[in-house]
Chain A
Amino acid sequence: AQSVTQLDSHVSVSEGTPVLLRCNYSSSYSPSLFWYVQHPNKGLQLLLKYTSAATLVKGINGFEAEFKKSETSFHLTKPSAHMSDAAEYFCVVSDKGPNSGYSTLTFGKGTMLLVSP
């Protein structure tokens, strides 16, 4: 079984300051991990994904995440927040499943990022 825990339901930062959104996962197999962002009234957009290559993954809009197997974590960071980053962020795990034929995504409950001027 796979699961995801997003440790903060809300994170507030000031524009120009660093962003840290925390995520821990549990997986029975070799997982792939994703971060998606959801802006109000818009669809989920993929920020970045980890698929067992480099542990430091760079995504769009200056975001990056580091896969740490020993800590079962996949935290999302950005050096400097922008007002347009305000949205809800989901950490997602995907298992290869027992027969590797398919997999499904398991989402965390989301972290709402608030950016103040």
Chain B
Amino acid sequence: DTGVSQDPRHKITKRGQNVTFRCDPISEHNRLYWYRQTLGQGPEFLTYFQNEAQLEKSRLLSDRFSAERPKGSFSTLEIQRTEQGDSAMYLCASSETTSGRAASTDTQYFGPGTRLTVL
């Protein structure tokens, strides 16, 4: 078990450019989550996958954001036409469901994050 990994760890881009981040969850974890953390704040939920299905999206996820998990394993988060307000740490987490147990009890394991700076 190597934990949740994210790539890249840091990304600096110019306003208006597109960026894509990758998340590799813990193997066999069927749930995957994206969060955004800005300075001085706790992480905020963006979106959630169960296997390859995207089941929930936060209102924070504008039309410029898109996430995929095509084979139910790794996931990508793309931001188009980046804005300075997109500068943040983007966190990925994964969890494993257990039959008969409420989803709210799942433990989410977090990756180290991708820090995005938009100039």
**A12-20, A67-75, A78-86, A100-108 - interface stretch:** A100-108
In the complex, chain B residues whose CB is within 8 Å of the CB of A51 = 104-105
In the complex, chain A residues whose CB is within 8 Å of the CB of B42 = 4, 90, 92, 107-110
> Who on chain B is nearest to A27 by CB?
B104
In the complex, chain B residues whose CB is within 8 Å of the CB of A41 = 112
> Who on chain B is nearest to A112 by CB?
B40
In the complex, chain A residues whose CB is within 8 Å of the CB of B105 = 32, 49, 51, 94
Cα distance A92–B106 in the bound complex, in angstroms: 12
B93-119 contacts to A, CB under 8 A, are: 93, 102-113
Is A117 positioned at the interface, with any CB of B under 8 Å from its CB? no
> Who on chain B is nearest to A46 by CB?
B107
Is A64 positioned at the interface, with any CB of B under 8 Å from its CB? no
Instruction: Please determine whether B112 and A96 come into contact, CB atoms closer than 8 angstroms.
Output: no
Cα distance A102–B93 in the bound complex, in angstroms: 14
In the complex, chain A residues whose CB is within 8 Å of the CB of B55 = 101-102
Instruction: Please determine whether A49 and B43 come into contact, CB atoms closer than 8 angstroms.
Output: no
Is B56 positioned at the interface, with any CB of A under 8 Å from its CB? yes
In the complex, chain A residues whose CB is within 8 Å of the CB of B31 = 102
A-B contact pairs, 23 of them (CB 8 A): A29-B104, A32-B105, A43-B3, A43-B4, A43-B110, A49-B105, A49-B107, A90-B42, A95-B104, A96-B103, A100-B102, A101-B55, A102-B50, A102-B55, A102-B56, A102-B103, A103-B103, A105-B35, A105-B45, A105-B108, A107-B44, A110-B40, A110-B42
6 nearest CB pairs, A to B:
A107-B42, A103-B104, A44-B110, A96-B104, A51-B105, A94-B104
Query: B residues near A, CB below 8 A?
Result: 3-4, 31, 33, 35, 40-45, 48, 50, 55-56, 91, 93, 102-113
Knowing that A43-B113, A90-B43, A107-B42 are A-B contacts, what are 13 other residue pairs whose CB atoms are under 8 Å apart, sorted by A's residue number? A32-B104, A32-B105, A43-B4, A44-B93, A44-B110, A46-B108, A92-B42, A101-B55, A101-B103, A103-B104, A105-B108, A109-B41, A110-B42
